[in-house]
């Protein structure tokens, strides 16, 4: 495995990336696929090697933020002499200016709309700022509970910490980004204050921060004040402490006071110097941190959606023609071209998709619409703009991670203090609005594709609800279809902009504010929903691919069977006449099997063979061969019985050993194998798989040793997706071209 980059190589790489980002061709010369692969590999390398990140104010990346926030990677202030010297210079510069009687906002003045006041009590002013912002609502300690009442025995509507506090990972990321911003030496913060942030972070002593209360105007003031409150040792500020024996939860963690946390970390309470309190609070670090984690997952989900679309093409017997280069070259939007190329490559080696709209290789019969419906055919045109938006959103967030978002800011070289508004986090809001819109568009597309799978009239003959047995008693994926409608509806609601709900705040001083943190929060909820949609769709796709392969196996045997019956019952036909007769019969049989998919098998085959009679009569007339009514009736009876028997045997055999891989494209094969073999999620055999239903002994197989609900099977996929295990397969699929 490639070693983690050194501090110098990380700095050089960031400089190179900045040059790329400013290229006239667009936000980044990298494709979206390449960006996702690079960032995933960086994350894996970082969490595997466990080396600390060295922070210099310029080289924090999106995967680096994720590694620290979610995987416990440590971070330290760079030992670079120039960085530390600039930090000391900025602190000294402000102290000297204050001692000479100069006035600075937030150092000798009040805050916001109260900046018309003046004071020389600079340390007390910083404490007053924290006091003002420690206004968030948090769960109470037992000793702080209100007096007992009859309502104490109620069942809560939700967990108080989940409802009222920011997740640990988000706070960890915030501490990293705030320290990185302060390390730029524009904020006049002491080195020991920055290093104290890292000490708390690296010992996993994470402040309990209120979830609501930030409008991300002058930065995320209220949430960041709780981090600053820990540094000053405020006994009423709480900290999460203890080992994480339950992954991804705080179940094993305990809450301690800030002084106790400082004692554990070996940190003396910090008396905030001139501007230090303001510098800690006044910034976009919370919004940027949460946005970085959101863009990372959104990028992964969007790459996954293109593989799922390729699987959808195969499951629906669609065509790869929609993804040909000529189509995208004639309308050369960058994102459309990339998406088409991705999907086309994912389909490499598939025996299920057609190469053109005129190709009927699977059954020898042209079925359904001449072209694929829009959810498949126009998927590059649908996905393409989302890739472009994600690349721009990623650039906006990457810049924000390595920016000074304080006010005022210090230029020690030019010996000036600048008063401005870098704390206004609208760049983060802009990025998150784009990401949520992207997630909604992707979710809608996947749902539309999945809807086609469920309906025989749209799916080229797949059974209704993807039921492997008779549809009168099996509704396999119908509940999943309803679930997905719910997910997509909520996702659509969340796609609405947050930024048009801005309210005038703080004595009309903050009359415009970005709401970036709120936008980032809801983006994570949208990620949850698209993850549910993707997991459910992947489950349905694996089922559909199995059913499609089972159908192909049956049709290949049925063709020979019907030819043999015709040869047996109509001896007066010549060999060429039998060929012509079989061709006429086969066209009607295949199309009738599709339209009759809503029927139980016994009724279905009777219906299909009866509807094949006109083909026999017409061919007999054309060939001038006499066919009796008795022979015709016997053909229907024999064809029905033998076809039904063949169908049941084929279904039983496939249920015992389902395997669609010989027919799948390279990407579908990998995801299918991951679901079926690695995760142990089996082919759904219908009603017999219901946990309380008796399974006939002949249908038992190694894949269904214990029955589970449909929701349980999808939950296994969802857990693999959210943990990152599934993305290892996605990256593998996307890395081969």
Residues involved in catalysis = 105
Residue with tokens 């705080």: 250
Residue with tokens 């196996």: 553
DSSP 583-597: HHHHHHHHHHHHHTT
CA distance 453 to 462: 7
The token duo for 8 is 């110098």
CA distance 308 to 301: 10
Helix%, strand%, coil% for the chain, nearest 5: 60, 5, 35
Q: What is the 3-state secondary structure (H, E, C) of 232-261?
A: CCCCCCEEEECCCCCCCCCCCCEEEEHHHH
Cβ atoms of 376 and 318 within 8 Å: the answer is yes
3-state SS, residue 419: coil
DSSP 301-366: HHHHHHHHHHHHHHHTT-BGGGG-HHHHHTS--HHHHHHHHHHHHHTTT-SSSBSSTT--TTTSS-
Cβ atoms of 372 and 320 within 8 Å: the answer is no
Q: Which of 371, 370, 367, 353 is nearest to 588 (CA)?
A: 367
Burial classification of residue 405, based on how many CB atoms lie within 10 Å of its CB (0-12 exposed, 13-18 middle, 19 or more buried)? buried
The token duo for 45 is 């390398």
**Side-chain half-sphere of 240: how many Cα atoms within 13 Å?**
22
DSSP H helical ranges for 498-612: 516-569, 575-595, 601-611
The token duo for 673 is 């194998």
């Amino acid at each position: 495995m490639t070693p983690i980059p050194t501090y110098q190589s990380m700095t050089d790489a960031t400089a190179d990336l900045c040059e790329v980002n400013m290229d006239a061709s667009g936000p980044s010369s990298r494709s979206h696929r390449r960006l996702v692969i690079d960032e995933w590999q960086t994350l894996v390398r970082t969490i595997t090697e466990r080396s600390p990140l060295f922070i210099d104010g310029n080289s924090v990346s999106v995967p680096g933020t994720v590694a620290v926030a979610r995987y416990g990677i440590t971070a330290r202030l760079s030992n670079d002499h120039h960085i530390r010297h600039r930090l000391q210079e900025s602190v000294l510069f402000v102290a000297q200016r204050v001692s000479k009687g100069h006035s600075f906002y937030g150092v000798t003045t009040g805050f916001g709309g109260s900046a018309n006041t003046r004071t020389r009590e600079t340390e007390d002013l910083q404490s007053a700022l924290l006091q003002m912002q420690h206004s968030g609502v948090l769960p109470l300690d037992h000793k702080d509970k209100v007096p007992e009442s009859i309502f104490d025995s109620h069942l809560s509507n939700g967990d108080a910490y989940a409802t009222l506090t920011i997740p640990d990972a988000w706070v960890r990321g915030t501490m990293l980004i705030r320290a990185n911003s302060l390390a730029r030496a524009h904020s006049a913060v002491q080195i020991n204050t920055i290093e104290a942030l890292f000490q708390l972070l690296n010992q996993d002593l994470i402040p309990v921060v209120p979830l609501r209360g930030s409008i991300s105007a002058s930065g995320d003031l209220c949430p960041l004040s709780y981090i600053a409150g820990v540094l000053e040792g405020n006994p009423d500020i709480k900290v999460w402490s203890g080992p994480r024996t339950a992954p991804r939860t705080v179940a094993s963690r305990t809450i301690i006071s800030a002084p106790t946390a400082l004692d554990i970390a070996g940190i003396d309470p910090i008396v905030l110097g001139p501007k230090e309190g303001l510098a800690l609070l006044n910034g976009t670090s919370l919004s940027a941190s949460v946005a970085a984690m959101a863009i990372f997952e959104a990028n992964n989900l969007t790459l996954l959606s293109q593989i799922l679309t390729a699987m959808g093409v195969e499951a629906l017997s669609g065509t790869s023609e929609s993804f040909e280069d000529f189509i995208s070259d004639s309308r050369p939007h960058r994102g459309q071209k990339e998406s088409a190329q991705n999907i086309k490559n994912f389909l490499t080696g598939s025996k299920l998709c057609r190469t053109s709209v005129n190709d009927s290789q699977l059954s020898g019969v042209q079925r359904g619409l001449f072209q694929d419906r829009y959810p498949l055919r126009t998927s590059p045109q649908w996905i393409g703009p989302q890739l472009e938006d994600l690349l721009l959103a990623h650039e906006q967030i990457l810049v924000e991670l390595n920016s000074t978002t304080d006010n005022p800011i210090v230029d020690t070289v030019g010996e000036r203090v600048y008063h401005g508004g870098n704390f206004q986090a609208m760049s983060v809001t802009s990025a998150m609005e784009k990401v949520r819109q992207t997630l909604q568009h992707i979710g809608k597309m996947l749902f539309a594709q999945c809807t086609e799978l469920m309906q025989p009239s749209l799916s080229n003959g797949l059974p209704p609800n993807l039921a492997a047995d008779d549809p009168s008693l099996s509704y396999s994926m119908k509940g999943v279809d309803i679930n997905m409608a719910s997910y997509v509806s909520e996702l659509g609601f969340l796609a609405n902009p947050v930024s048009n709900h801005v309210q005038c705040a703080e004595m009309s001083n903050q009359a415009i504010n970005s709401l970036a943190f709120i936008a980032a929060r809801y983006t994570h909820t949208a990620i949850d929903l698209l993850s549910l949609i993707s997991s459910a769709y992947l489950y349905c796709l694996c089922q559909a691919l199995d059913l499609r392969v089972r159908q192909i196996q049956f049709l290949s045997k049925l063709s020979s069977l019907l030819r043999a019956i015709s040869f047996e019952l109509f001896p007066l036909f010549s060999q060429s006449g039998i060929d012509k007769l079989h061709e006429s019969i086969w066209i009607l049989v295949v199309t009738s099997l599709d339209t009759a998919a809503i029927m139980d098998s016994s009724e279905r085959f009777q219906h299909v063979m009866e509807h094949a009679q006109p083909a026999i009569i017409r061919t007999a007339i054309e060939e001038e061969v006499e066919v009796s009514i008795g022979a015709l009736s016997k053909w229907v009876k024999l064809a029905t019985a033998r076809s039904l028997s063949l169908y049941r045997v084929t279904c039983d055999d496939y249920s015992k050993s389902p395997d669609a891989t010989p027919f799948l494209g390279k990407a579908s094969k990998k995801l299918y194998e991951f679901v079926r073999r690695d995760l142990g999620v089996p082919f759904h055999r219908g009603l017999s798989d219901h946990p309380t239903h008796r399974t006939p002994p002949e249908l038992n197989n190694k894949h269904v040793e214990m029955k589970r609900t449909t929701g349980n099977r999808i939950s296994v996929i969802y857990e693999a997706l959210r943990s990152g295990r599934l993305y290892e397969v996605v990256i593998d699929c996307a890395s081969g071209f």
